[in-house]
């Protein structure tokens, strides 16, 4: 549905997007995820036609659109700040684009009411934006984009202005709406949890480059780069080098410890500098060593309670911090300064 080929975008000498390649399927919910300033909005604006690539190709539904103006592309954008017209009521805000296109009165009436119904705000047709909550304004902005029956909807941090609870609720609603309509969504966020919750696939951007594209679980469980491992969720990173390797089994030296790990990547050699990434929830704490697992002795430093889960922060022999996350009702009883065994299944650590 959308193909981005070798897209480069420079502002003066500054390269903001470098050689980006991405294929987006019809009906897919794909998220561009990355920290502020990595080029997400610029990429979206190039797809929309508000910005032109310095070089590269953009193909929408089989047609090259690099040189088409925004209004000739079958895409619509929803912005974070809603961009509603304050003096128009909800009906007229949604109808605006149709009126510009000289759509017939009867058509406008039925299409606007249908769009309002999709976002469950039919009864708000006569209200002005200042009479709406943040979540309702955002729904009107979405209705206004959907009323044009776009093949592709671009959403730039559309939930960014909502409080946490409403935001979670809108994440679910928006995902349902997208599946129901089958419209391709290209969603931008810097919030990794939001990306994991909503997306069919996530494209992780890092300083204008695409580091990894994959399903949420691929991105979370099999990060391809240290940046992805650290940006998505929390992770323990041990720096080290490869001492030995045979048939996907690596012997590593990390922070003075000798460890084992598995890898399915062929590109490691003895002497390579690596990072070993272990998710806090993959780490178990015990008094005794666990057979067949990696075991390290550590010292308990601090516990952080967060409802159902509790984090335990420990110090490794060289003083480095290491975090375990466990179910609060299954915690090993420990006090600050206690010695504790950290273990994990070597198959669940990722070598980067
Ligand atoms: P994101 O949406 O990921 O936060 P942006 O795409 O907005 O990032 O911006 C990426 C980089 O491009 C930033 O360093 C930003 O300052 C720069 N940039 C964006 N738009 C312009 C512009 N019109 N002129 C010059 N620099 C820009
Ligand atoms: Mg942005």
pLDDT (tens place) for every residue of the chain, 352 residues total: 999 999 999 999 999 999 999 999 999 999 999 999 999 999 999 999 999 999 999 999 999 999 899 988 989 998 877 789 999 999 999 999 899 889 999 999 999 999 999 888 999 999 999 999 888 998 899 999 999 888 999 999 988 888 888 889 889 989 998 999 899 999 999 999 999 999 999 999 999 999 999 999 999 999 999 999 999 999 999 999 999 998 888 999 998 889 999 988 878 999 999 999 999 999 999 999 999 999 999 999 999 999 999 999 999 998 999 999 999 999 999 999 999 999 999 999 999 9
Residue 144 in contact with ligand 1 by CB distance below 6 A: no
Residue nearest to atom 20 of ligand 1 (CA): 42
The pLDDT tens digits for 56-102 are 999 999 999 998 999 889 899 988 777 899 999 999 999 998 998 89
End-to-end CA distance of the chain: 32
Residue 13: how many other CB atoms lie within 10 Å: 5
Which domains, ranges and CATH numbers included, belong to the chain? 2-229 (3.40.50.300), 234-351 (2.40.50.140)
Residue nearest to atom 24 of ligand 1 (CA): 11
Contact assessment for residue 282 and residue 346, using Cβ atoms and an 8 Å cutoff: no
Give how far Cα 226 sits from Cα of 61, 211, 231, 266, Å. Answer: 34, 10, 8, 17
Tell which residue, 295, 292, 277, 4, has the closest CA to residue 154. 4
Tell which residue, 77, 82, 66, has the closest CA to residue 40. 77
Q: What is the pLDDT of residue 118?
A: 86
**H or E element that contains 106:** helix 105-118
Contact assessment for residue 231 and residue 352, using Cβ atoms and an 8 Å cutoff: no
Triad 45, 47, 53: Cα angle to 5°: 75
Residue nearest to atom 25 of ligand 1 (CA): 11
Residue 41 in contact with ligand 1 by CB distance below 6 A: yes
Contact assessment for residue 131 and residue 59, using Cβ atoms and an 8 Å cutoff: no
CA 34 to ligand 1: nearest atom: 3
The reported pTM is 0.89
For residues 336 and 65, what is the distance between their CA atoms, to the nearest angstrom? 61
For residues 176 and 185, what is the distance between their CA atoms, to the nearest angstrom? 12
Q: What is the pLDDT of residue 160?
A: 85
């Amino acid at each position: 549905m959308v193909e981005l080929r070798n897209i480069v975008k420079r502002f003066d000498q500054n390269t903001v997007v470098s050689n980006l390649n991405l294929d987006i399927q019809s009906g897919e919910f794909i998220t561009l995820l990355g920290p502020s300033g990595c080029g997400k909005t610029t990429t979206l604006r190039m797809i929309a036609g508000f910005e032109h690539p310095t070089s590269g190709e953009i193909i929408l539904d089989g047609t090259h659109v690099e040189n088409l103006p925004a209004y000739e592309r079958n895409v619509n954008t929803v912005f974070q700040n809603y961009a509603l017209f304050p003096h128009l009521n909800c009906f007229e805000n949604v109808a605006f684009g149709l009126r510009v296109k000289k759509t017939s009165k009867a058509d406008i009436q039925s299409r606007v009411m249908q769009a309002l119904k999709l976002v469950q705000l039919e009864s708000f047709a006569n209200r002005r934006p200042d009479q709406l909550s943040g979540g309702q304004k955002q729904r009107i902005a979405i209705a206004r984009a959907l009323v044009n029956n776009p093949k592709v909807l671009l959403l730039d941090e559309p939930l960014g202005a909502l409080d946490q609870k409403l935001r979670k609720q809108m994440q679910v609603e928006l995902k349902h709406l997208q599946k129901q309509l089958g419209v391709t969504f290209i969603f931008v966020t810097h919030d990794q949890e939001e990306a994991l919750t909503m997306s069919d696939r996530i494209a992780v951007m890092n300083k204008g480059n695409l580091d990894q594209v994959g399903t949420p679980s691929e991105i979370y469980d099999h990060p391809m780069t240290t940046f992805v491992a650290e940006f998505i969720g929390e992770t323990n990173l041990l720096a080290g080098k490869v001492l030995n390797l045979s048939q996907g089994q690596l012997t590593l030296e990390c922070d003075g410890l000798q460890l084992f790990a598995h890898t399915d990547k062929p590109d490691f050699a003895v002497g390579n500098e690596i990072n070993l990434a272990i998710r806090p929830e993959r780490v178990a704490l015990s008094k005794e060593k666990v057979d067949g697992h990696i075991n390290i002795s550590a010292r308990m430093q601090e516990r952080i309670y967060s409802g159902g889960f509790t984090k335990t922060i420990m110090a490794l022999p060289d003083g480095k911090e290491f975090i375990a996350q466990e179910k609060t009702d299954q915690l090993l009883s420990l006090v600050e300064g206690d010695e504790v065994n950290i273990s994990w299944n070597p198959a669940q650590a990722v070598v980067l």
